Structure 1
């Protein structure tokens, strides 16, 4: 058995999911970096590997600010809490 209960993990994921949805709605991309530890390593499929929260912040704010209305779709994954859903092909965020 792990350190955290299933309920704690599900709540943490739900809180994270809701935070990402709100960040997408508000376009406050700097807040996205606040979800990571200072020593985080972020692997992005096009931009590669970024080290540290502040590097992630630089990347996300620059990338998502290039074109007005940029969005980050939140995709539902198998086994995730049922409170999060994908809102269709538009990439808009949604919570059930």
Structure 2
């Protein structure tokens, strides 16, 4: 690709809005505004869950993922760092996925790399999440062990731990 697809300022502003929307979704647990940031024909590549084509494939996946354990215990998705590539319209970032305090102030999280590609007009046409699923399992098991120790382990987490922790 030659020339700039978008200015760095436009890309940075659009990504800042993306982050604000994701933050609101994590707070309100309403995932639709997050999904609405994508184009109708978005390509979403999630290495553990597979490839989704279109918002209406992403929507049920994100709702299910974020409203069942362990996703429903993730409280935010802040970027730890980000790189803007205006020539391709891409933002590459590392996202943290901290889990809810198990009861003693402990913060347990895992990170992933996300590559999002801007389409213009506040919409994103592609997202790829790259991570090691075993790191998420390890962090979640650690959270479950801590919550169990503190007597705060919810039933759905205990069921998850019994299935996955064996």
TM-score if structure 2 supplies the norm length? 0.45
Structure 1's consecutive aligned runs of 4 or more residues displaced over 4 angstroms after TM superposition are: 85-91
Matched ranges for 1:2-81 at <5 A? 2-67=4-69, 69-71=72-74, 73-79=77-83
Alpha carbons of structure 1 residues 4 and 78: separation in structure 2 relative to 1, 3 Å: closer
Query: SS of the counterpart of 2:45?
Result: strand
Ranked by relative contact order (alpha carbons within 8 Å, sequence separation 6 or more), the top structure is 1
**CA RMSD of superposed structures (Å):** 2.6
- Superposed displacement of residue 35, structure 1: 1.2
Alpha carbons of structure 1 residues 30 and 70: separation in structure 2 relative to 1, 3 Å: farther
Q: Aligned residue for 1:94?
A: none
Alpha carbons of structure 1 residues 31 and 7: separation in structure 2 relative to 1, 3 Å: same
Which structure: greater strand fraction? 2
Unmatched segments (≥5 aa) in structure 2: 85-94, 99-106, 110-166
Count of equivalent residues: 87
Query: SS of the counterpart of 2:41?
Result: coil
Check the 8 A contact 2:22/2:77 in 1, yes or no: no
TM-score if structure 1 supplies the norm length? 0.72
* Whole-angstrom distance in 2 between the partners of 1:58 and 1:11: 28
Check the 8 A contact 2:42/2:53 in 1, yes or no: yes
* Whole-angstrom distance in 2 between the partners of 1:14 and 1:22: 12
